[in-house]
Structure 1
Amino acid sequence: MQIAILVNAIHSLSKDMTNFEKLDSIPIGISPYEKYKNWRSQGPIYWTDELFGGAWVLTTFHAVQSALKDPRLSACRTGGWVMRAPGARSNVRAQLIDMQRLFARAMLFVDKPTHPRLRQAMQVGFRPDTIQKMSAFVDSTVNELIDNVEAACDDNSPFDFIETFAQHLPARVIARFLGFRHVDQRRFLTWSSVLAQFIGSVYPSEEEALAARTGLLGMADYIQNCLNNGDFEEEKLFGVLVRAQSRGEIESGPEMLSQCAMLLFAGYETTRHLLGTAVYWLLREPGLWAALDDPARLRSAVRELLRWDSPVQYTGRRASRSFTLYGRDIRRGDLVLPLIGSANRDPGRYDEPDLINLDRSIGIPLSFGSGPHVCIGAGLTLMEAECALGVLVRRWPRLQLCEAGSEWLNIPLYRGLKTLMVRRS
């Protein structure tokens, strides 16, 4: 039986914006989808002064997918981005240089020939059989977190799903997947939080930039100590990277530390948001939560929820040369933003894109990107989400939203909840 539920637009924004001047007056704010719809109405590409001091935004599925594969658009973009805190004093900019050195070496932000070298070195750690071996750990962790909630509050007591579950599961899973034996979860969550605030801000403040520097360097120091002390499981991903470093496939120092720090951060942050928004939307409409009682529906449901509300709303590229794209003159150095969240709601690609259809056959949406930089950890995230939702529905079949208390993030890059108040019956 097909499940197709029309979900009303959240925090409805202005419906009648048809000219370019008015489009940019709609804040992206908490729900970006009305703005995306208006931008799409102008065509596949649109210039806005609203983001990063001026950028081309790509709005349709085809435009976004093509851009992510276009060699004229470079992933190397961290120089001005990391150092861009408005009004940052010269001594602060000097302090950000070491953070920039780490960011600039991450696989996410490099092109050929560095990118394929790093990806090949890491890919062996993300084989399907390796990910499948994690499923038992994910299942036991999900049940442990559920047990903790049940021990702490009765059925009718509200609790914050983000605080008690969504932030803990991916933190434990990515630490285990990498093979770190002892992770101070409180410190890790603090590091991730300040990094997310900085990375996700269009114009981060000086304070946000310095906090992110502390977080990233804290991660790097932790990873370096694990390496120095041998405090990791050699058969896990970190061991794979250490062996790749010994063969010269990954450079020691900043390059090695950067890959590990970004894997820790990315493996946690996006999965946390996926778990929160998935539970939110499944509980918003009668019938969706109960529909997942059928395990066969979990695979398509997770992919549909990723399409509907992608944890990452856009990514960035820099034009490495001047060229024409959809009739617009792109200059060398221009910032181009493929809007993943808009592409996933494109009616040119999806029938009735503003419906949640848990049986929709769409494959994997653009939430993990496409092309050479497609998310290397997509398989782990999908397995984690399918397992978590399956166990949650089975153990808490009467889970429901509380009337108040949930709060959305207000960071344009990320789509997620700061708090999600629920009760078990």
Structure 2
Amino acid sequence: MTSQPAERAPSLAQLLRPDYHADPHLLYRRMRDRGTVIWDPYVHTWIVTGYAEAVTVFQDFLSARTPSAETFGRMGLPMLAPAADVMRRQMMFMDPPRHMRVRAACSALFNPVRVRRLEHRMREICSGLMDRIDHGAAWDLHADYAEPLPAMITTEISGLPLADWRQLQIWSDDFAALIGNFHQSRSEGDRLAASLDAMTAYIADAIAEQRAGEGRGLIGALLAQDGADPLDDAEIIANVIITLVGGLGTITNLISSGTATLTAHPEAMERIRRDPAAMRGAVEEILRYETPSQFSGRIAPADVELGGQRIARGDAVMVMTAAANRDPLVFDDPERFDIARTPNRHLAFAWGPHFCFGAALARMQAGIAFEELLRRAATIELVGGPLEWRENLGLRGLTTLPVVTTLAAA
């Protein structure tokens, strides 16, 4: 009798496998079974799946981990060298004190008070999008609803023309693919480089136009900075780009993946219909259960012991946020979707210095999107084959979400 070969040790590289790509938690559980911190020899990175260890890394480890132009060259992707310069200027890849300087400049527009002022505008957009739906016929909830709402809101907040939101969505998705994947072909590298060049030139033109006239939104706020060390144009461009990525891609994925999750759990959807107050818990559980940002990289600041492993100063560490959000030591029955789960201190928005400053905006948009969808649609049924997930391994989201809805009674 011939024995079956043992499956190799779990690695992030295996996310490219169709079964793991469809359900990455199959891989994350295999990783956790080997320890809350394990070495991945295929991507030369420490993998963190435990919640407590993830919090430690988010709180104490370094974020300045961007590839250099030389790194892209060694990968055979020299055309992506400009991306290295953009990334190193973005707040998510910075450590204090530079990080706090950039974050303070950008985050004022996203505080909860300002976000609440956008509620009417969000509902107005949702209502307009739902007005276009042909209930009873198949339509793509991802493209026709989940994408436009955050794209329009983020475009307006950024101070860019609303008419350009579709182009900004395309550019944003391209940059998200650049930072969310750890493999690129040369042809894909050429395409992403051209996309980044176009996006950079577009934002540079917007900065020049607003500097000469009236400032608007995030760009206007950044141009109006005073003090001894204001952001220069390259820093403004870089951080407008990452704001667009966070606002357009992440919230889109939250809405479409969340809708798919709710349709798979009709009892949860019915509970929300009966009790609108349950929406808040539903959004938090979707963030935990179907985390949009799957993992986040850091660098060890010193020799340290974590999860029983000795990690050397300068070692790369990857926090598997989605895995930590299903840590059985923290979440009871973590594979169960429970909109009444409490407490629910998930890490979908990270932790510590890099806690997402757009969290309030994301929560509010998702809640309003679900509320307006359920108010207008009496039933929601997925149609077609299995769910199709984007190739972006780090920023998990659907490519499409075909549904048939029935119109709710007025």
After TM superposition, the score normalised by the length of structure 2 is 0.90
Aligned partner of residue 328 in structure 2, secondary structure: coil
Are 2:206 and 1:226 aligned?
yes
Quote the residue 1:360 is aligned against. 341
Offset at 1:48?
Answer: 1.3
Secondary structure of the residue aligned to 2:329 is coil
Distance 1:171 1:248, change over 3 A: farther
In the alignment, which of 273, 277, 282 is matched to residue 296 of structure 1? 277
Alignment of 1:12-411 (within 5 A): 21-24=8-11, 27=17, 28-50=20-42, 53-70=43-60, 73-80=61-68, 83-84=71-72, 87-88=75-76, 93=78, 95-149=79-133, 153=134, 155-230=135-210, 234=215, 236-244=217-225, 246-293=226-273, 294-404=275-385, 406-411=387-392
Helix, strand or coil: the match of 2:255?
A: helix
* In 1, Cα distance between equivalents of 2:70 and 2:125: 35
3-state SS of 1:324 partner? strand
Residue 40 of structure 1, CA deviation: 1.4
1:424 is aligned to: 405
Going from structure 1 to structure 2, the CA distance change for 1:285 and 1:371 (only over 3 Å counts) comes to same
Q: What's the offset of the Cα at 1:87?
A: 5.0
| Runs of 4+ deviating beyond 6 Å | none
Identify which range, 95-104 or 341-350, moves more after superposition. Answer: 95-104
Answer whether contact 1:30 1:409 (CA < 8 A) is retained: no
Give deviations 1:82-113, integer Å, cap 9, x for gaps.
Answer: 9447752xxx51x4332211111000001111
Structure 2 partner of 1:14: none
Cα shift readout 1:114-170 (whole Å, capped 9, x = no counterpart)? 001111222322221111111111110011111112xxx3x3211111111111111
1:414 to 373, 395, 398: 395
Alpha-carbon contact 2:69-2:82 (below 8 Å) kept: no
Bigger Cα displacement from structure 2, 38-47 vs 204-213:
204-213
Aligned-pair CA distance for 1:321: 3.0
CA distance in 1, matches of 2:195, 2:22: 25
**How far did 1:334 drift?**
1.6
RMSD of equivalent CA atoms = 2.3
Between the two proteins, what is the percent identity of the paired residues? 27
SS at match of 2:317: strand
Per-residue deviation, residues 282-339 of structure 1 (Å, max 9, x unmatched) = 0113322222212201111000011001001000012233333233222233210011
Assess, with a 3 A threshold, how the Cα gap between structure 1 residues 85 and 380 changes in structure 2: closer, same or farther: farther
Q: Which amino acid counterpart does residue 74 of structure 1 have in structure 2?
A: L
Q: Distance in 2 between matches of 1:389 and 1:360?
A: 18
Alpha-carbon deviations, 1:203-226, whole Å to 9, x = none?
222222332222233222222212
1:248 Cα deviation from its structure 2 partner? 4.3
CA contact (8 A) 1:303 1:362 kept: no
1:251 CA displacement: 2.3
CA contact (8 A) 1:274 1:306 kept: yes
Segments of 5+ residues of structure 1 without an aligned counterpart are: 1-18
Which stretch shifts more, 31-40 or 182-191?
A: 182-191
Structure 2 residue matching 1:292: 3-state secondary structure: helix
The answer to whether the Cα contact below 8 Å between 1:283 and 1:400 also exists between their aligned partners in 2 is: yes
Q: Is the 8 A contact 2:53 2:306 kept in 1?
A: no
- The match for 2:3 is none
Question: Are the aligned partners of 1:250 and 1:256 in contact in 2 as well (CA < 8 Å)?
Answer: no
**CA–CA distance in 2 between the matches of 1:223 and 1:418?**
26
> Unpaired segments of 5 or more residues in structure 2?
1-5
**1:267: how far off?**
1.0
- Does the 8 A contact of 1:408 with 1:417 survive in 2? yes
Secondary structure at the aligned position of 2:21 is classed as coil
Give the TM-score of the pair, scaled to structure 1. 0.87
* Matched-pair contact (CA < 8 Å) for 1:404–1:421: no
- Deviation at residue 400 of structure 1 after TM alignment: 1.3
Structure in which a larger fraction of residues adopt helix: 2
What is the count of residue pairs matched by the alignment?
395
Distance 2:337 2:54 in 1: 22
| 2-structure distance, mates of 1:38, 1:272 | 29
